[in-house]
Homo-oligomer: A and B are copies of this chain.
Amino acid sequence: MSNELENEKLSGYGAIELGGTRTICAVGDASGLVLNQTVIETTTPDETVAKILDYFKDKDLKSVGIISFGPVDVRQGSATYGDILNTPKIAWRKFPLLKTLTDALNANRDEKLPVGFDTDANGSLLAEVTWGAGVGLNDAVYVKVGKGIGLGAMVNGKLLHGMLHAEAGHIKMSVEAGDDFKGDCPSHGTCFEGMASGSAIAARWGKPARELNDKPEVWELEAKYIAQGLADIILTLSPQKIIMGGGVLHQKELLPLIRKNVVEYINNYIDTKELRNINSYIVPAALNGSQGIKGALKLAISAEEAAMRN
């Protein structure tokens, strides 16, 4: 390949968002701009990885950031760092995602690519506090209510991992009076995800959420469970802001109902300016669905910065 053609390679930070049904690959710049992006179906690990590598083969990367559905091992230094853990997606269970991707991306390189890795929810939060609805905050959470429910959390300016990572989709719910739905979670029945995820809505009402938008009773009940989950998160993590994403939130009347139920439950016990201004406390993501891939991009940018310092 001539030097001229070599120079035409798209150059920037690599970003990969491995989702349960689709995977996004992108190249972006240091300002968070996505210069190029492709969406591929998430199928088996082998097929999906091959498509990811195919996308990046003509890109010139400074570093790479990867976010993934969970549970996933985000503990640097762990023997299984970067592996998918006990996911219900059997084909992906114990798959060494990070190692497979970085080994392949580094194959023809003299110097190893700096790499950042986290959960999809932490990645989305990172993008939102960097370029979206949470700029300037040190203590914030991202709650995604889609097919499942995920929590990303930042405390004192750093993403929360701890023992593994947050799994607040699985906190136990108090079942509303008169509700006889048994919950949709194979592990925990009536947990937050089992009662309020997109899958739970479909299981409870017999059709997907997008076909239920003329049924107010669906959204009144949904708002109660989401509010219960958010109240638990507020009382435990004390975030300065809750940023919401995921397909279920596309239902427009939902967010005002969630806010009302959160305020009612907290019942002035915590009296802060944030809770008094509930409309700016519980807010939709500002990055219009690109918070995931931009989070991966931010992880790549930070990984390169960390490598330059060392």
Contacts and interface: CB of A to CB of B under 8 A. Distances in A.
27 contacts: A71-B269, A71-B270, A85-B271, A86-B269, A139-B160, A139-B163, A155-B160, A155-B162, A156-B161, A162-B237, A162-B240, A163-B272, A164-B270, A167-B269, A167-B270, A168-B235, A169-B235, A171-B232, A171-B235, A172-B174, A172-B232, A174-B175, A187-B268, A188-B265, A188-B267, A233-B236, A236-B237
A154 B271 CA distance: 23
B239 A166 contact: no
A201 B160 CA distance: 34
A231 interface: yes
Nearest to A228: B172
Nearest to A268: B86
Given A190-B174, A231-B172, A160 B267 contact: no
Candidate in A174, A190, A268 with the most chain B CB atoms within 10 angstroms: A174
Interface string A75-117: 0000000000110000000000000000000000000000000
Nearest to A190: B174
A271 to B, nearest CB: 5
A57 interface: no
Interface residues of A, number: 48
A158 interface: yes
A39 to B, nearest CB: 29
Contact of A236 (B71, B161, B232): B232
Contact of A165 (B85, B233, B238): B238
Contacts of A267: 187-188
A269 B237 CA distance: 21
A187 B238 contact: no
Given A160-B156, A237-B236, A187 B139 contact: no
Interface in A247-302: 265, 267-272, 274-275
Question: What is the interface of chain A mostly: helix, strand, loop, or mixed?
Answer: loop
A15 interface: no
A173 interface: yes
Contacts of A234: 163
Contact of A160 (B174, B187, B237): B237
Closest 10 CB pairs of A and B: A162-B238, A139-B162, A155-B155, A156-B158, A187-B269, A236-B236, A171-B232, A174-B174, A168-B236, A163-B238
A226 interface: no
Contacts of A235: 166-171
Contacts of A269: 71, 86, 167, 170, 187-188
A209 interface: no
A145 interface: no
A151 B237 CA distance: 10
Given A156-B156, A170-B269, A232-B236, A274 B163 contact: yes
A163 B153 CA distance: 13
A166 B236 CA distance: 5
